[in-house]
Amino acid sequence: MTKQAPHGFPLLPLLDAGIPAVLLKLLQQEGVPTEPLTVGEARGTFVLFDSRRNRFPSGLTTGQIAIDVAAVCASEPALVWLEKHPGRSIRKLWQVGPWQAGEEVAVVDRRQLRERVVSELRAAIEAAGGVWMRTAAYPAPYQTAANFRFDHDAYVASDFDAVLEAIAGYEAMTSHFVCASTHEAYPETLARLRGLDVGSHGFRHHTYRTRRENVTNIAFGIARLVHHGLNPGGFAAPLGRYNVDLAAAVAELGISHTSEFAAAYDDLPFFAAVGDVVQLPIHPVCLGIVLEAAVAADDSELGRRAAEATAEHFIAVASEKHAAGLPIFLYGHPDGRLGRHPEILRRTLAAIDSLPQVWKVTLSEFQRWWRARAAAKWQLYRTTAGYEIRSVVTSPGYATAIEWTTTAGKAKFALSESGRTTIPIRPEFAPHMGVDRALPVGECPSRGVRSSLKRYLDWEFETPLDEIDTHEWRGWMKRTLRQIRRRPPRTTGAAR
Ligand SMILES: [Zn+2]
């Protein structure tokens, strides 16, 4: 039998008496209201503390219950590891048709980590008489959101045309991240992106290792797109890479949102550790890596089979994410890939369109919502008949919903405009659904000495010799080696 929570104090927000920063971030990403215990007027029943770092919180009054998160944190070493190694990546494999397609993505699967941590904390709160409610991840009445992100790496006229034709009618659920160095020679092409959600994919197609080089590359990439009449919002790092210096550069430039699978994949968005930047994780499987796995020339029969398998993978992932209430954020490249197989897009977008209660959205719009969601403030009270939510601030411009999760499933309630929302004591819970197809089937732990050295030297052929930044010895070394080593022949569609 569960204990009866005391009356008077709200069951939510949870009060933070010094829990690890990553844990607090996971709770905020989840949408569970939290407030620091130190805030003068903060009132709540449950006070979270970490006995490994702090003593039992002092000054608690009758009716307040302290919950120790030490055991949860101790069982999840990734919580501490993540804080020290943001952007650390590893090659993971996904099963797509008969092939295993590989991509370098975040070592820690943040979504699974969050789900495990939340499930343990939820059990602790429930055992102490509380309930687990959060601000829903999407405005009412949606159960998920969908977007197809295009990374415009190189420009191939026929591929670009084929992609724009394939997305006709679905533009509102696409976002286009453009590499300026490869596109600025085609102003009429860039003009065709006006009116769409456009972001920067850097000037040069490379994610550098220093803040200084990233600032230069991103700022110049944005300036060139603006010069051509576009209004870029957001940035997607070339190759999906992420490092602390990239994060610092993005924060310094005041960029609203970014999307890198080395930071996170297949997860809800979250605020980056530095700056006011929303990270929008996507599903990291693209046609390019399936073609690589199939070793398929894009016009061969094998290429067609790889494209067919990719379309089926996308449709299955979309349907599973829809059931699980996770964002359907997919991605791909026009050049040499989707432009050669545009039927993948038509099929995937049509399949998503047929799913109920999907918010078809651009990434710029979704990050606006995510900020509004974070701004919502509400308290949950136990009443004699059930529960009552008193909202102090609702998400401006959006219909906010509250989601109640138990082991049995979840139930959703729209926040009333009046500021008071009543919730029955036993609502009908829809059962939880898992996501299987999105999970990797394996990983390759070792990168090899040669490839580690290349990464250490930030080895690449994108930056022209005379533009390599030699302020640091690594840059000097790179330039010296580049003088002796010629660029290998370029293959369209090889990069990400
Ligand atoms: Zn790219």
What is the pLDDT averaged over residues 419-431?
92
Same domain (yes/no): 32, 95: yes
pLDDT band per the 50, 70, 90 thresholds, residue 494: low
Cα(239) to centroid(ligand 1), Å: 5
pTM beyond 0.95: the answer is no
Per-residue model confidence (pLDDT) at position 6 = 47
Residues 242, 333 within the same domain: yes
Do 257 and 212 lie in one domain? The reply is yes
The answer to whether residue 197 is domain-embedded is yes
Residue 388's closest CA among 430, 411, 416, 429?
416
**Domain hosting residue 95, numbered range:** 14-135+376-424
Co-location of 302 and 396 in the same domain: no
Where do we find the tokens 């719009």? 365
What the block records as the tokens of 451 is: 């490839």
User: 280 CA to middle of ligand 1, Å?
Assistant: 16
Distance 28 CA to ligand 1 centre (A): 30
Residues 151, 127, single domain; the answer is: no
Which residue is it, tokens 């453009």?
Answer: 178
How far, in Å, from the CA of 331 to the mean position of ligand 1?
10
From the CA of 401, how far away is ligand 1's center (Å)? 35
CATH classification of the domain holding 249: 3.20.20.370
Q: Is residue 198 part of a domain?
A: yes
- What is the 97 CA–ligand 1 centroid distance (Å)? 24
Domain membership of residue 464 (yes or no) is: no
**Which residues have CB less than 5 Å away from ligand 1 (the ion)?**
151, 153, 238, 496
Q: How many domains in the chain?
A: 2
4 within some domain: no
Whole-angstrom distance, CA of residue 361 vs CA of residue 170 = 10
Residues 299 and 157 occupy one common structural domain: yes
Quote the ligand 1 centre to 150 CA distance (angstroms). 9
Using the mean position of ligand 1's atoms as its centre, give its distance from the Cα of residue 124 in Å. 44
Is 51 in the same domain as 151? no
pLDDT (tens digit, 9 = 90+) per residue, 77-118?
998 888 888 889 999 999 999 999 999 999 999 999 999 999
In sequence order, the 6+-apart residues with CB closer than 8 A to the CB of 231 are 198
Same domain, 126 and 200: no
pLDDT value for 448: 78
Expressed in angstroms and rounded, the spacing between residue 237 Cα and the centre of ligand 1 is 7
DSSP letter assigned to residue 282: B
The CA-CA-CA angle for residues 273, 264, 270, to 5°, reads 45
pLDDT tens-digit series, residues 172-231: 999 999 999 999 999 999 999 999 999 999 999 999 999 999 999 999 999 999 999 999
Q: Which long-range contacts (CB under 8 A, 24 or more apart) does 343-347 make?
A: 343/166, 343/307, 343/311, 344/287, 344/307, 344/310, 344/311, 344/314, 345/148, 345/163, 345/166, 345/167, 346/166, 347/311, 347/314, 347/315
For residues 269 and 178, state if they share a domain.
yes
Q: Look at residue 7 and tell me whether its pLDDT is greater than 60.
A: no
Q: How far apart are the CA of 119 and the centre of ligand 1, in A?
A: 36
pLDDT of residue 271: 97
From ligand 1's centre to the CA of 443, what distance in Å? 22
The pLDDT value recorded for residue 490 is 62
- Residues 129, 206, single domain; the answer is no
What does the pLDDT look like over 436-451, one tens digit per residue? 778 999 998 766 788 8
Buried b (16+ CB within 10 A) or exposed e, 48-85: bbbeeeeeebeeeeeebbebbbeebbeebebbeebeee
**Residues 292 and 207 placed together within one structural domain of the fold:** yes
